[in-house]
Amino acid sequence: MKDRNMAQICALAEKYVQEEQFSVFRSQVQDLLQQLRQNPDNKQVADELYERFYRSLAFGTGGLRGEIGGGLNRLNCYTIRKATHGMAQYICENVPKDRWHVCLAYDSRNYSDIFAKEAALILAANGIRSTLFTGLRPTPELSFAVRRLGCCGGIVVTASHNPAKYNGYKVYWDDGSQVVAPHDKGIIEKVHAVDGPLPVISEEEAVQKGLLHRIDKEIDEPYIEMVAGLSLRPEQVRQHAAGLELVYTPLHGAGRHSVETVLKKMGVNVFTVPEQAEPDGNFPTTPFPNPEIAPAMALALKYAKQRKADLVLGTDPDSDRLGIAVPDAGNHNEYVLISGNQLGAMLCDYLFLTHKELGTLPANAAFINTIVTSNLQNRIAQAYGVKDFKVLTGFKFIGALMREWEEDGNYQYVFGCEESYGFLVGTDVRDKDAVSASAITVEMTLWNLQQGRSLLEYLNDIYRRYGYYRETLIDHYFEGSQGTAIMNKMMDNLRADNPKSIGAIEIKAVKDYLARTTTLANGQVNQDIHLPESNVLQYYGTDGSIITARPSGTEPKIKFYASCASECKDLARAEEETLAKISTVEKFMHQQIETARQS
């Protein structure tokens, strides 16, 4: 206890108790302090207090994310207010006063509505006008609203697909994209500099002064119209949508109204999973409300089997990620979950092929994905004459390129995606959008059914044309005060000992995005990476395999990605080849995790 300077921890806790205005969070810390006073040797209480105060919850380049609760290292009303005050200070110093206007939204997570209102009132106390949705909304609609209302920024309260104990806070700039340089670092500096009492204004006073306004249908209706307008084959959709059997789950999140409204507008009969239809921040039917994983989609698949559905859709709590499942080609009573890489490849092919057919593909058309997303998508884009770009992980980097092209006119954005089930069609939104992705996926499904094939058959056709790709992702949580140190140690170990091979995969180059260098097998080092610095390592195999190590920027975990390819036209054999490679890579990944845990 002495080594951790518990006297300092207790002092921080006492100060927090004085500054936290929300009684639920304040009492949690008061109770811990009282228990420790009664029994100074209570290690369990001391550990808990330490975890809540050994650091302040980090405000990263995208905002905040952490466990809900009392303390500086937790998400609560005080940490939300402090972060917002820092953002407000940055706006006041860097944005003309006549543009001081921020839009706020929130999802279904516990306390999201309270946190969003707290943020709005801090902005108002700084003289910044706030527009707050009357109820929960998808994250992409917040991005749309920022652009449509001409706001200088936006805030959405969400922890995306994380478990119920988490919540978060994402910051957007005037283009509707999450903040990037120089605004990200500028806001972070202001947040870190916040000290002392925060400004206070009541909701009544904020409304009376015109600094707080509520919205709903003023944005809902044009957003839905925008999504509907993305359709490339509207006539075909009108003719055949009623025949599609579709099961949808919003996973207790914010997507239900928007997704159902858009799909019904298309003429699709939507069956929404009743147990997961209503918003609930406790996510009672699934501990991980993430459409990337099978357990979260289990209820939807149960209903799909009963209803013999043609397509299953799942959106995460803030409805920016889309997962799908389709009937198994060999057994129509079973369903196959499609990965984000696979759905991205199909959407790439469908969108570019359709634009080609219709003569609407711009001469300077561009496609963007991330450095950890399958190169199959890039091969597809290139085949249609579309310029492809790779950016760092995070949709904000896709948004940054979109903004750059708006200003210089060099390229016209058509589609972008990332392996973590994020897709964006069109330019009215600047973040991944599961609502519009749902609509385009339904259209793509209908088109394929009219061609007499399923989505699985379509995917296999893509593999035959461009090569077979198989990906895997292993992530491991390192909770608590030691988590960051363990992850950093793991990355240090990897940098200190570049492997010559991983299993049977011979490594020809290692890219270090922190040093922005590429090290070749012969030892030559090239300073050739022109993306921003990022704590990422990538191993390139002579066979085309790519293995990536990346600590998450928003969660206490490290992610290992692998993508292995085969040019074999016999898909069964190609699958066998790539699975064998994936197996050896997964062993390597688990070894790295275990070594770090033991060190």
For residues 226 and 15, what is the distance between their CA atoms, to the nearest angstrom? 48
Question: Are residues 500 and 507 in contact, defined by beta-carbon separation less than 8 angstroms?
Answer: yes
Select which of 108, 160, 177, 454 is catalytic.
Answer: 160
For residue 281, the model assigns a pLDDT of 97
For residue 555, the model assigns a pLDDT of 64
Average pLDDT over residues 383-403: 96
Selected residue with higher pLDDT from 354 and 197? 354
DSSP strand pairing (537-541 vs 505-512)? antiparallel
Average pLDDT over residues 274-286: 97
For residue 331, the model assigns a pLDDT of 75
What is the per-residue DSSP string for 154-192?
EEEE--TTS-TTEEEEEEEETTSSBP-TTHHHHHHHHHH
Percent of the residues in the chain that have a pLDDT greater than 90, as a whole number: 87
For residues 363 and 356, what is the distance between their CA atoms, to the nearest angstrom? 11
Residue count (the chain): 599
What ranges make up the beta strands (E) of 479-543?
A: 501-502, 505-512, 517-520, 525-526, 537-541
For residue 62, the model assigns a pLDDT of 76
Selected residue with higher pLDDT from 58 and 461? 461
Question: Are residues 428 and 536 in contact, defined by beta-carbon separation less than 8 angstroms?
Answer: no
pLDDT single digits (tens) 111-123: 999 999 999 999 9
372 pLDDT band (50/70/90 cuts)? Answer: very high
For residue 557, the model assigns a pLDDT of 80
Question: Are residues 9 and 53 in contact, defined by beta-carbon separation less than 8 angstroms?
Answer: yes
For residues 544 and 378, what is the distance between their CA atoms, to the nearest angstrom? 13
Which is nearest to 422 in space by CA: 191, 177, 238, 194?
Answer: 177
**Does the pLDDT of residue 218 top 80, yes or no?**
yes
For residues 23 and 33, what is the distance between their CA atoms, to the nearest angstrom? 15
Average pLDDT over residues 473-501: 82
Give 370's strand partners: 391
φ/ψ (deg, to 5) at 365: -60, 145
How many angstroms separate the Cα of 153 from the Cα of each of 91, 146, 379? 9, 7, 36
489 pLDDT band (50/70/90 cuts)? Answer: confident
**Does the pLDDT of residue 110 top 70, yes or no?**
yes
DSSP strand pairing (245-249 vs 311-315)? parallel
How many angstroms separate the Cα of 300 from the Cα of each of 165, 233, 247, 319, 442? 24, 27, 7, 16, 16
Question: Are residues 286 and 251 in contact, defined by beta-carbon separation less than 8 angstroms?
Answer: yes
**Does the pLDDT of residue 588 top 90, yes or no?**
no
498 pLDDT band (50/70/90 cuts)? Answer: confident
Domains and CATH numbers, the chain: 1-54 (no CATH), 57-215 (3.40.120.10), 219-466 (3.40.120.10), 468-598 (3.30.310.50)
For residues 227 and 532, what is the distance between their CA atoms, to the nearest angstrom? 32
For residue 333, the model assigns a pLDDT of 82
247's tokens: 């099961």
For residues 398 and 230, what is the distance between their CA atoms, to the nearest angstrom? 19
Average pLDDT over residues 529-553: 91
**Does the pLDDT of residue 247 top 70, yes or no?**
yes
Instruction: Report DSSP state, residue 532.
Output: P
Average pLDDT over residues 548-573: 87
**Does the pLDDT of residue 3 top 80, yes or no?**
no
Average pLDDT over residues 1-29: 89
| Residue 29: how many other CB atoms lie within 10 Å | 25
Q: Tell me if residue 479 falls in helix, strand or coil.
A: coil
Q: Is 454 among the catalytic positions?
A: no
Helices (H), 384-454: 395-408, 434-450
Return mean pLDDT, the chain. Answer: 94
2 pLDDT band (50/70/90 cuts)? Answer: very low
Rounded to a whole number, what is the largest CA-CA distance in the chain? 76
516 pLDDT band (50/70/90 cuts)? Answer: very high
Which is nearest to 227 in space by CA: 9, 506, 501, 436?
Answer: 436
The contacts of residue 486 (CB under 8 Å, 6+ apart) are 478, 596, 597, 599
Q: Cis peptide before 182, with omega less than 30 degrees from 0? A: yes
1 pLDDT band (50/70/90 cuts)? Answer: very low
Question: Are residues 81 and 59 in contact, defined by beta-carbon separation less than 8 angstroms?
Answer: no
For residue 365, the model assigns a pLDDT of 98
